[in-house]
Amino acid sequence: MTLNFVRDFSQPEDYFLCKYDDIDGAKPISSFEFYIQTKHIPLPFYNIERWKRIEEALEWIANVGEALTFFDFKTKFLSYLNFSAEPDLSVIASLFNQDSTAYFNKRILSSIARLALELPKQIKQPIRALRKEENGSLTLSQLQIASLLANAFYSTFTARNFGEFNRINFIRLFTRKTPKAAEKLKCILHYFYQFFKNPPTGTVSIIRQKLNCELEPKWDEIECPLVNLNALPNGRIENEGEKMTQVDFANEFIGGGVLGYGLVQEEIRFLICPELIISCLVCEKMEKNEAILIIGAERYSDYQGYGSTFCWKYRQRDVSSQRDAMGRVLSELLAIDALNFSHPLEQFFEGYIRRELRKAFIGFATRTAWSFDQIATGNWGCGVFGGDLHLKSLIQLMAASLACRPLVFFTFGKKLFAQELEETVKLLREEGFTVGLDKPWLSVHFLVAPSGMRMDFPNPDEGKKIPKYYRSLPDENKNKR
């Protein structure tokens, strides 16, 4: 038994703001929809009086070019924003004080302002929000995304007065109070620099998929063979996971703290591929039975370090990347959010295990006609969220097996765990174990062999966490989210 949810972009809930052809690239298309507050994203130019103030400020910044001063930038920037106290813009101020790059930075800031002003020309129909508990997709051109992100950079968006969404305005990146804000801003500016240098003409699609109750797998009854798992102690999902569907260890608010304090796996991915940030604008908070798949976002930057040691590194965008018939680069990012376990033993109770199985399965089962077979994943939810490596690896193995998609598991430097995991899965496959879950008494059982042998997770009330088929492994280095 295998299950997959193949999206072909032919349903009424598949929403397009552009079309694509190989010669002219992506262009906006017209629509007969009208703006509805609880259905569409409020765009900056919908408020005519406020947009006039924005236009006046950004036109001045766009036209002044290298003559731009920080005082003038701050004055114009704050002219359309309502703050009771003047915000700290010290990171932006530093762009004007760096002798080697000040000229470049001023021109980039002017170009971003000019791009932001193009929004009414680029977005000719309302942008439908991807609401929770609703299947849907949204396809935008990379030019439309760039213009939207330029407005986010200048913080022109107003609150979405419905639902629960992540923040989209960039103003928090302009303050030293946000850790590593300067490095984050370098990623954003480098994206815009490469966009202006050689504008991409493709598209990006954001797919939201839910798992209906009637389609939820009966984990107690399933007899599905285990897929292959290749565990790699070294390498990164975004590098060595090429030509695989790559997992984003997501926050329930997609993007997490990319525009705030966060700087771990998800935030870093959004910084090196800034087109992903547009999902923060259109995607409502994920529910327990939902996943988000983003197709076609390009990579613009490299990096070194992690968290407090993160630093931007130069990278050239690959302009020769292969595209599909819709103009999308062949890249897939799968966002699934793990539970946060402040009390780690709770994750071994069946209700929580079923929740994580549901989340991983709906993510792994969501695909398009050309989606890669392999899934690149790793220590999902095992950093600040307190997840157990052994448990989460088996949960992902079960979900991938039901979706019939092999796993490439990146352990981020944990060599012993990588070896143990790969050997364990190999043994289970050789012995004919299948996916299954039941809960007699207080033991939680995962993998059921044809002979009736079981692989047990001991009773969490006894304080034990290690499955029988795993040796006790040292904590080689701190887990990463």
In angstroms, rounded to a whole number, what is the distance separating the alpha carbons of residues 79 and 143?
27
Distances from the Cα of 372 to the Cα of 194, 245, 330, 349, 455, angstroms: 27, 6, 9, 33, 30
184: left (phi over 0), alpha (psi -120 to 50) or beta: alpha
In angstroms, rounded to a whole number, what is the distance separating the alpha carbons of residues 63 and 66?
9
Token readout for 386 is 């307190």
Give me the residue spans of the domains in the chain: 5-410
Active-site residue list: 248, 266-267
What residues contact 422, with CB distance under 8 A and at least 6 apart? 229, 230, 231, 409
Residues making up the annotated binding site for substrate are 251, 265, 306
Could you list the pLDDT tens digit for every one of the 481 residues in the chain?
557 789 989 999 999 999 898 888 898 887 667 899 999 999 999 999 999 999 999 999 999 988 999 999 999 999 999 888 889 999 999 999 877 788 889 999 999 999 999 999 999 999 999 999 999 999 999 999 999 999 999 999 999 999 999 999 999 899 888 889 999 999 999 999 999 999 999 999 999 999 998 888 888 888 889 999 999 999 999 999 999 999 999 999 999 999 999 999 999 999 999 999 999 999 999 999 999 999 999 999 999 999 999 999 999 999 999 999 999 999 999 999 999 998 989 999 989 999 999 999 999 999 999 999 999 999 999 998 999 999 999 999 999 999 999 999 999 999 999 999 999 999 989 988 888 754 332 234 445 445 444 444 444 444 333 344 443 333 444 444 5
**Side-chain-facing half-sphere of 132: CA atoms under 13 Å:** 13
For residue 445, the model assigns a pLDDT of 42
For residue 32, the model assigns a pLDDT of 67
Residues making up the annotated binding site are 251, 265, 306
Closest CA to 286 of 248, 336, 357: 336
Token readout for 395 is 């949960």
Q: Which CATH number fits domain 5-410: 3.30.470.10, 2.60.120.10, 3.40.220.10, 3.40.640.10?
A: 3.40.220.10
In angstroms, rounded to a whole number, what is the distance separating the alpha carbons of residues 231 and 414?
10
Rg (CA), the chain: 23
Max CA separation in the chain (angstroms): 78
Helix (H, G, I), strand (E, B) or coil at 274: helix
Token readout for 89 is 């813009």
Residue 58, class by beta-carbon neighbours within 10 Å (0-12 exposed, 13-18 middle, 19+ buried)? buried
**Number of residues assigned to the chain:** 481
In angstroms, rounded to a whole number, what is the distance separating the alpha carbons of residues 418 and 4?
28
Question: In this structure, how many other beta carbons lie within 10 angstroms of the beta carbon of residue 2?
Answer: 12
Which amino acid is located at 225 in the chain? P
